């Protein structure tokens, strides 16, 4: 039998991290003590008060059956209460909230609900790869909006051609940003709402990092801006905030028609989210937040170790105000992948070449804060010793 992949799979863009993965594994096999600053996955355990709640809820047979498609009522009400207390945003839990099996699931599926073959989605470049892949799976095409340092890693809407805008259905945004760690303020989101209204574009804001901030300025929600709910939705995740990446729990909130469209896709593909996990998620977002504050402190200390060390080694680095990432330029004359290779060969350090996140990431490298401080100190020592700049 001749087993052939569907075109949508066969035509997936090449996996740009394959080369660095191969080099990493080869170095490991040689016995090199690798420091992996490529991982964007929290190293700390889920807070114990959340695990305790799952333990209790998982023993309740009421939660063992097929879950409700849009999420438990109590979960959606809890999300609405949290949006009100954290952002001052009012949501109708019945129509403006849907649970997700991790926010990646919703981000990947939303194009199926709104993007027709031939339609265009606006995608940040560099960006989280799922925006583009979800677009391609729906038969649409992505128009990359370059995020440049000169523009504070915000897209320039005036640079998008009119014939692109005519075919545009959705726009993906993500602040605090992965991979650049850039923040966005309310004034930016006001421009987003005006632009979306004028061009009839649905805004999909990925807010995975709003709770991982290091200063006094708390990141804003896109939905805080007047009129935002008319044009779009926000995706949220418990993954990074509560060390829950393995649990798969997130949600999409905002415009009722957009939430319903995404819900329609989901009712036909999945059967919702284990209800005991939803009960534990309520505990996560509405329980004692002191562990989350301590987690922010932990990341802030790691950030300072890494940023200070990189600066001492001769790199020009902007200290991130939020997210799990440090994004900086590779030395003059080097490419992203060339520098990633050098870091691995000369210092035993894995970092992610910026071009893997899109063409505008060329010339940058991304390091994460998901290793203990001692390992970051060791990484910095090695980078200094290798004289890479």
Among the residue ranges 113-121, 196-204, 236-244, 279-287, the one whose residues contact ligand PLP (CB under 6 A): 236-244
Judge residue 111's burial from the number of C-beta atoms within 10 Å of its C-beta, 0-12 exposed, 13-18 middle, 19 or more buried: buried
**What CA dihedral angle connects 119, 125, 130 and 135, to 10 degrees?**
10
Beta carbon of residue 24, minimum distance to ligand PLP (angstroms, whole number): 20
* Beta strands, E only, the chain: 35-36, 97-100, 120-125, 141-146, 168-174, 202-206, 232-237, 250-254, 325-329, 349-350, 352-353, 364-368
By CB under 6 A, the residues from 62 to 91 that bind ligand PLP are none
How far apart (Å, rounded) are the C-alpha atoms in residues 77 and 87?
15
The rounded distance, in Å, linking the Cα atoms of 381 and 70 is 49
Cβ neighbours of residue 276 closer than 8 Å, sequence gap 6 or more: 54, 57, 58, 60, 63
Asked if 234 is part of the footprint of ligand PLP (rule: CB under 6 A), the reply reads no
Query: DSSP letters along 85-152, please?
Result: HHH-----TTTSEEEESSHHHHHHHHHHHHPPTT-EEEEEES--THHHHHHHHTT-EEEEEE--TTTT
User: CA 75, CA 182: separation in Å to the nearest integer?
Assistant: 30
Using the contact rule CB under 6 A, the part of the chain among 50-58, 100-108, 190-198, 219-227 near ligand PLP is 100-108
Taking the least distance from each CB to ligand PLP, the nearer of 70 and 178 is: 178
Rounded Cα–Cα distance for residues 280 and 247 (Å):
10
In the complex with ligand PLP, the residue whose CB is nearer, 89 or 208, is: 208
Q: Give min distance, CB of 227 to ligand PLP, in A.
A: 24
* Chosen residue from 95, 141, 245, 334 binding ligand PLP by CB under 6 A: 245
CB 273 to ligand PLP: min, Å: 11
In the structure encoding, which two tokens stand for residue 122, read together? 């606006």
Of 207, 176, 200, 211, whose CA–CA distance to 258 is shortest? 200
| Per-residue binding letters, 325-364, with ligand PLP (x by CB under 6 A) | ----------------------------------------
- Among 98, 160, 184, 208, which residue sits at the site for ligand PLP (rule: CB under 6 A)? 208
Residue from 239, 241, 243, 278 binding ligand PLP (CB under 6 A): 239
Nearer to ligand PLP, 104 or 375 (CB): 104
Q: Tell whether residue 133 is a contact of ligand PLP (CB under 6 A).
A: no
* Residue of 70, 103, 132, 360 interacting with ligand PLP (CB under 6 A): 103
Contact letters for ligand PLP, residues 34-63 (x by CB under 6 A): ------x-----------------------
Distance of CA 145 to the CA centre of its chain: 17
Q: Which is nearer to ligand PLP, 322 or 388 (CB)?
A: 322
Under rule CB under 6 A, residue 174 binds ligand PLP:
yes
Alpha-carbon distance 244 to 240, whole Å? 6
Any contact of residue 98 with ligand PLP (CB under 6 A)?
no
Which listed residue (42, 102, 124, 320) binds ligand PLP by CB under 6 A?
A: 102
Please give the residue ranges that form the binding site for ligand PLP (CB under 6 A): 40, 102-104, 128, 174, 178, 206, 208, 237, 239-240, 245, 250
């Amino acid at each position: 039998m001749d087993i052939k992949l569907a075109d949508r799979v066969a035509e997936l863009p090449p996996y740009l991290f394959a080369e660095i993965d191969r080099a990493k594994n080869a170095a490991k096999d040689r016995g090199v003590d690798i420091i992996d600053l490529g991982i964007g996955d929290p190293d700390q355990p889920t807070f114990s008060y959340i695990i305790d709640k799952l333990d209790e809820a998982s023993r309740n047979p009421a939660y063992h059956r097929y879950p409700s498609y849009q999420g438990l009522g109590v979960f959606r009400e809890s999300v609405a209460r949290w949006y009100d207390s954290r952002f001052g945003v009012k949501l109708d839990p019945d129509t403006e909230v849907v649970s997700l099996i991790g926010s990646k699931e919703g981000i990947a599926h939303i194009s199926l609900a709104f993007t027709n073959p031939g339609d265009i989605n606006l995608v940040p470049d560099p960006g989280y790869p799922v925006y583009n892949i979800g677009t391609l799976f729906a038969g649409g095409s992505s128009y990359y909006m370059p995020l440049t340092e000169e523009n504070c890693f915000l897209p320039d809407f005036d640079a998008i051609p009119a014939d692109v805008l005519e075919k545009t259905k959705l726009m993906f945004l993500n602040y605090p940003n992965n991979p650049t760690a850039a923040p966005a303020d309310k004034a930016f989101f006001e421009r987003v709402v005006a632009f979306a209204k004028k061009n009839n574009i649905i805004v999909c804001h990925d807010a995975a990092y709003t709770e991982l901030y290091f200063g006094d300025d708390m990141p804003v929600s896109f939905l805080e801006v007047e009129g935002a709910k008319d044009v779009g939705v926000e995706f949220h995740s418990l993954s990074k905030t509560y060390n829950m990446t393995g649990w798969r729990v997130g949600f999409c909130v905002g415009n009722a028609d957009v939430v319903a469209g995404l819900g329609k896709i989901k009712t036909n593909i999945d059967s919702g989210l284990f209800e005991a996990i939803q009960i534990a998620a309520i505990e996560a977002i509405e329980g004692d937040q002191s562990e989350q504050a301590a987690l922010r402190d932990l990341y802030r200390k790691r950030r300072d170790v890494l940023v200070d060390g990189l600066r001492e080694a001769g790199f020009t680095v902007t200290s991130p105000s939020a997210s799990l990432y440090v994004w900086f330029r590779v030395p003059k004359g080097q490419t992203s992948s060339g520098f990633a290779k050098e870091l691995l060969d000369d210092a035993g350090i894995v970092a992610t070449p910026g071009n893997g996140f899109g063409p505008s990431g060329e010339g940058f490298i991304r390091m994460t804060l998901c290793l203990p401080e001692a390992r970051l100190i060791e990484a910095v020592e090695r980078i200094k010793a290798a004289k890479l700049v």
